[in-house]
Each structure stands twice: as C-alpha cells, then as structure tokens.
Structure 1
Amino acid sequence: MTCLTRLVAALSGAAVVLAASAAAAQDRTPTGEPDGKDGCMEILAHRGASGYLPEHTLPAYALAYGQGAGWIEPDVVLTADGVAIALHDITLDRTTDVAERYPDRARADGRHYAADFTYAEIERLRIVEALPDRYPHRTFRVPRLANVLELVDGLNRTTGRRVGVYPELKSPGVQPELAPTLLAELAGYEWPIRIQSFDAEALAVLDTELPRVQLIARPDQLTPAGLTRIASYAIGIGVPKELVFQDSAVVGQAHALGLQVHAYTLRADRLDATFDSLAGEVAALMEAGVDAVFTDHPDQVLALVARSCDTTR
C-alpha cells in the first residue's frame, strides 16, 4: 500500500467516524447547518479543516464536511489561462513548492504569481503546509474551484445535507475577470452560497443576487455611516475575533442594521493571548452574539457550540 493510498484509507475511516459524531451533534442542535437558525453559531470551515490537513486542498474540504461544518470556504484566484483555483494568496510561494519547481519564474519582487502560470503548470506543484507543527508532507495539489464545488455538491447529494460554499474574491481589483468567472462557476448549484471580499467596491457592484458578506479592512467601515453603507448591499460583516474580544458592541451595532457578524479565525493550536482555551474563545463569541465563526478545527468548535446550545436551552 502506497503512502497516498494509506492516507486516503485513513481519511475515509476518519470521515465515517467524524460524520457519525457530527450527525449525533446535529441531532441535538442544527448548529453546523447553514439553514439551522436557533440562536447558535454557524460553523464555517476556514480553508477546509485546515488545522488537520493543508489549507485549500480537496482532502481538507472533505474532512471539514465530515466533521460537520455548515459551510466550506474556498478563497479564489485566477491562473494565466483564466482557471479559477482555490488559493488564499495571489502568489504561490507561501503554500506550494513553486520556488523549487520554477526557480526562474519569479517577478522582480521575488514572488511567483498565480496569474503568471497556467493551470497545467500549477497542477504540477505540491501544497506545502504554511504553519509549523501541522501536516508535514507534500501530498496534495492545488484544486480548481470547479473540483471544490463538485465535491460539496456530490456530498450534499449522497448525504442529504445542505452544506454551503462561502468563496472569497481575492484581490478582484487586480483580477478583473475573477468576479464574472466565479459567478459563472457558481451558477446552477442549489445549496447555500455566500460571497465575501475585503474589496468593498467590487462586492457592492457584484452582479448577483447571492448573499454577500463584507470583510472589514478599515476602521471607518465600522462607523454608523460605514455599517449603513454595507447594509445596502451585504447581509453581514466578517471581522477578526480580536475585534469582538476587545469591543463586543460592534455585534449589536451590526445587528441593529440587519447585518450578521461572522468572526475569524478560531484555531485550537493558536489561541488569542487573552484566553487559555478554545472553549473560552467560543464562549466569548457566543456571549457577544456572533452569528457564525470561521475555524481551522470544525469538529472541536462544533462540539463546543453544540454543548453550549444544549446547556442554554
């Protein structure tokens, strides 16, 4: 049995166990599901189950699904030949071995941009774990967005769940074809979809009826005027968890305008300095009234949220 075969077998076994545990949790509360509204936080898989497997890989997305996440988050950029891929940065250096495979293809700033490579070239790369002390091997490749959507669609059909996809437009200002390409890829799918971006102008004029979430990039966006403008085109805001920990009033201010608040990012292995446990972070966000939370560890956060929902009913 090859290393890859063993890995796939292990993931398959883990998915069965995790799916069963997620189903048990959902018998108690629909927390994980995007259409389960009962006052509990939604669980958003940050780049997949990226605390266990490298971010933005098909296995990481599949594991997040098996762990009970209600939403899968792919960041989206374009290749030189216009293929939408799941990648957090517009450059390839942080999460792939591009510098080893294409040492002479960097720009003057020393970085390798996805827009300078065709998908056939990017497909030859191997994903490298960006954070130390996590998954150590170079097993996986950069997926097309189409592959991610097919994965979620297929699992929704075979499980009967309605897990949503929550793509982020990455730097649409320097990728003018990104928005129309993303919308074309999303067309025809019937499960929940939300689109997020830090680029307020691109998000505001996006030609779609799909729900939009404005990621907060500037303090002025959280003023009464800023939130009012966001409420004219978006259903919610995405904010760093630290902002909520420091001043939870922002949650009430957003809610008063009909905006949801989605906080990022909960990581079991990288806690905020003011907390000594993941449970403490989850409790603080729930007490503040946060509607949804991005996490690298969907299973752990789902268990904590489900437990809290049970005890508060």
Structure 2
Amino acid sequence: MRGTYCVTLWGGVFAALVAGCASERMIVAYRGAAGYVPEHTFASKVLAFAQGADYLQQDVVLSKDNQLIVAQSHILDNMTDVAEKFPHRQRADGHFYVIDFTVEELSLLRATNSFYTRGKRHTPVYGQRFPLWKPGFRLHTFEEELQFIRGLEQTTGKKIGIYSEIKVPWFHHQEGKDIAALTLALLKKYGYQSRSDLVYVQTYDFNELKRIKRELLPKYEMNVKLIQRVAYTDQRETQEKDSRGKWINYNYNWMFEPGGMQKIAKYADGVGPDWRMLIENEWSKVGAVRLSPMVSAIQDAKLECHVHTVRKETLPSYARTMDEMFSILFKQTGANVVLTDFPDLGVKFLGKPARY
C-alpha cells in the first residue's frame, strides 16, 4: 500500500500539488455539525448551515417500505435505542437493520451519538460530545431533509450544497432493492440533477458507481458529480459477486496501485480517501509531513480530492491543532474539499464567513 515516492513539506503551500485540484476550497459538514450535536439530526444540520459549511453530508439507507432514511449506518444498533424498543427484531447475526423496519417504526426510535455497547452500558465513541440520549432526537427521511434544506434556503436567501453518500448498495441489492435509483430519483425531484447544481453523490461501491455513471444517470437524464470513496480491503466496506455468483469481500488494493486513480477517473469526478491514506504517519512530524503516492496519483488523474474525516478527537501526532490539520490537507496534500465534524473550524480556517 505504501510507496517510496514522498515529499517533505516544511510549512507553506506546495504549489505543484495544489494546482492539480479544483481552485475553490470547501468544507463539507460531515453528518452535520456532529462535533456539537448528534449526527444526522436536524439540529446538527441547521447548526452546520449557520456555521457556514459549503455542503451538508447525508448517509442514505433504505427502510422496509422503500423510504430513504438519513442514518450513518444500515445497522441501527449503535445509534438508536432499537434494542429496547424492538428487542426481538435482530437478525441471526445479532444486529438490527434499518431495512427490517418501516418508517413508522423507525420514527419511534430515539437517536443519539454513536456509542459502544458493553452489556447494558452505552459508552459514547467520543466522550466529550453531546450527552447520549438527551434530549430526544429522531431519525428522519432523506426527503424530509431535502425539504428542510430547501426551507432554510428559502427563508434565509442563502444556498448550501448536498453531499449524499449511498450506503452499501451491494447490501440493498442482496435485499432486492435499488437504493441508487431511488436516491437519484429523489435528488432530481428536488432539482439536483446537473453538474452546475450544488450536489455530489458518493459511494464506496465501485461497481455501483460504474452503474450510476453508465446506466442510471442517462436513464434519469442527470449529470451530477460523482465521488468514489476509498477504503482498505480489510475494512470490508463492500461486497461483489464472484464468477460463481457468490458474494465476496471487495478488493480495494488496485486503488492504491499505479493506474488505479486513472481507472476511477473514467467514472468519477473525484475520490474520497481517508486523510491517513495521503500521509505517511510513521515518517511525519510537526512541521515535516511526508505524503503518500496517492497524492500525486490523484493529481495525475485530474480527480478532485475530498478528504475524510477531520475530528478534534483523532488528530495525528504531526498536527497539534485543527488549524494545523486543515493546513496540511488543503495546502500540502492539495485537497480541495475536507469533510469534518467541526465545520465552523474549517470555515474559519478558510477565512469564509459564517451564515449567522
């Protein structure tokens, strides 16, 4: 995964790197202002809107009755009280799946920040964030969120972009559902259909990305911008059918090899790597960051670089502050988009105004 090519940067802007990316630098509010308010709640989204984020990110999954739901996972276990409300609805693997519940049932659940479960005890993934289970947040549909955003734009006279991730398309295909088609149809209904519209669609599933590009966009007469999220194979983000029709773990290794980004560029406008994929951690320190081969590969393929996910709680040793991390990503890796749980800090770093 790791190559020998590297560049050591001692502060400042490395112009050759930055030149390969789009000129405008943007902040995407990852699941809203999730560093302050539980992720994917209306409160999180309206706070990010006020803070000045360029785009609001949504993770989209499907309910039993074919409604698109905004939720960070297709599994409900560690973000709702589903185990208390519906204790006998888990599958054989012990998990509770969004797709096994109707919208009406999902509306009964309380939503909260991500947590770990140890016995009956819930421990927040990020301990200093909004307290678990307070006051009483709920899940909502993707259509409700689009209506909410259009309402904010109407009452404030200010625009914000939509950044929608289609979650686990392969899983939905296994369940006989076409989540990508439903997502695109709803986006078009609300006026998000061309490259000039403030919308990105992303997924980890490369096979589905190709299908969106080749089949679904022409079918719906759309031409929205597409982003290929990048994973390590052992993260088990995606499955595909092998030659015998058996579902197997998708191998992402080719994305890290020479020519990988060129292949992605045939179908996508950009890629969404984790920031750890762009920086050689063991060779980097404060003031001296070593870049991975992926940085130049993205540039050579003329892809946009949308970096995930900057959080206060997970800063690396070579970035002492959020400002230092934003500087590394925007000025040194050449990223033009950074996704963060703390959009206000990204907006401030870029010198952009908050909306309110």
How far residue 290 of structure 1 moved from its aligned partner, in angstroms, is 0.5
Q: What corresponds to 2:264 in structure 1?
A: 230
- Partners of 2:262 and 2:23 lie apart in 1 by 24
Aligned amino acid, residue 158 of structure 2: R
Q: What corresponds to 1:243 in structure 2?
A: 277
Asked if 1:184 is matched to 2:185, the reply is: yes
**Secondary structure, counterpart of 2:312 in structure 1:** coil
Q: What corresponds to 2:90 in structure 1?
A: 106
How far residue 237 of structure 1 moved from its aligned partner, in angstroms, is 0.2
Q: Is the 8 A contact 2:22 2:336 kept in 1?
A: no
Q: Is the 8 A contact 1:212 1:236 kept in 2?
A: yes
Asked if 1:295 is matched to 2:292, the reply is: no
Q: Is the 8 A contact 2:42 2:145 kept in 1?
A: yes
Asked if 1:153 is matched to 2:150, the reply is: yes
The structure carrying a bigger strand percent of its residues is 2
- Partners of 1:51 and 1:296 lie apart in 2 by 5
Q: What corresponds to 1:254 in structure 2?
A: 298
Q: What corresponds to 1:61 in structure 2?
A: 45
How far residue 224 of structure 1 moved from its aligned partner, in angstroms, is 3.2
Pick 1 or 2: higher relative contact order, CA cutoff 8 A, min separation 6: 2
- Partners of 1:148 and 1:249 lie apart in 2 by 38
How far residue 161 of structure 1 moved from its aligned partner, in angstroms, is 2.8
Q: Is the 8 A contact 1:52 1:297 kept in 2?
A: yes
**Secondary structure, counterpart of 2:259 in structure 1:** helix
**Secondary structure, counterpart of 1:245 in structure 2:** coil
- Partners of 2:142 and 2:90 lie apart in 1 by 24
Q: What corresponds to 2:209 in structure 1?
A: 203
- Partners of 2:45 and 2:316 lie apart in 1 by 25
Where in structure 2 are there 5+ consecutive unaligned residues?
1-20, 115-124, 218-222, 232-251, 281-290
Asked if 1:171 is matched to 2:191, the reply is: no
How far residue 252 of structure 1 moved from its aligned partner, in angstroms, is 3.0
Asked if 1:117 is matched to 2:101, the reply is: yes
Aligned amino acid, residue 39 of structure 2: E
How far residue 244 of structure 1 moved from its aligned partner, in angstroms, is 1.8
Q: Is the 8 A contact 1:245 1:285 kept in 2?
A: no
The equivalent position to 1:134 in structure 2, one of 129, 133, 137, is: 129
Change in 2 beyond 3 A, CA 1:280/1:248: farther
How far residue 248 of structure 1 moved from its aligned partner, in angstroms, is 4.7
Q: Is the 8 A contact 1:47 1:73 kept in 2?
A: yes
Q: What corresponds to 1:214 in structure 2?
A: 228
- Partners of 1:303 and 1:248 lie apart in 2 by 27
Q: What corresponds to 2:56 in structure 1?
A: 72
How far residue 38 of structure 1 moved from its aligned partner, in angstroms, is 8.1
Residues 134-155 of structure 1 deviation map (CA, whole Å, 9 limit, x = unaligned): 1111421001000111122222
Change in 2 beyond 3 A, CA 1:199/1:273: same
Residues 15-94 of structure 1 aligned to structure 2 (within 5 Å): 39-94=23-78
**Secondary structure, counterpart of 1:187 in structure 2:** helix
How far residue 249 of structure 1 moved from its aligned partner, in angstroms, is 4.3
Q: What corresponds to 2:286 in structure 1?
A: none
May I ask how many residue pairs the two structures share in their alignment? 271
Aligned amino acid, residue 316 of structure 2: D
- Partners of 2:32 and 2:47 lie apart in 1 by 7
Aligned amino acid, residue 145 of structure 1: F
How far residue 279 of structure 1 moved from its aligned partner, in angstroms, is 1.2
How far residue 272 of structure 1 moved from its aligned partner, in angstroms, is 2.1
How does the TM-score come out when normalised to structure 2?
Answer: 0.73
How far residue 253 of structure 1 moved from its aligned partner, in angstroms, is 2.2
- Partners of 1:292 and 1:248 lie apart in 2 by 18
Out of 103-112 and 131-140, give the one that drifted further: 131-140
- Partners of 1:302 and 1:116 lie apart in 2 by 39
- Partners of 1:222 and 1:234 lie apart in 2 by 16
Aligned amino acid, residue 59 of structure 2: D
**Secondary structure, counterpart of 1:264 in structure 2:** strand
How does the TM-score come out when normalised to structure 1?
Answer: 0.82
The structure carrying a bigger helix percent of its residues is 1
Aligned amino acid, residue 226 of structure 2: R
Residues 213-246 of structure 1 deviation map (CA, whole Å, 9 limit, x = unaligned): 0001223213332211110110000001112222
- Partners of 2:135 and 2:77 lie apart in 1 by 14
Residues 140-199 of structure 1 deviation map (CA, whole Å, 9 limit, x = unaligned): 100100011112222223333331111111110121321111011101425411110000
**Secondary structure, counterpart of 1:306 in structure 2:** coil
How far residue 274 of structure 1 moved from its aligned partner, in angstroms, is 2.9
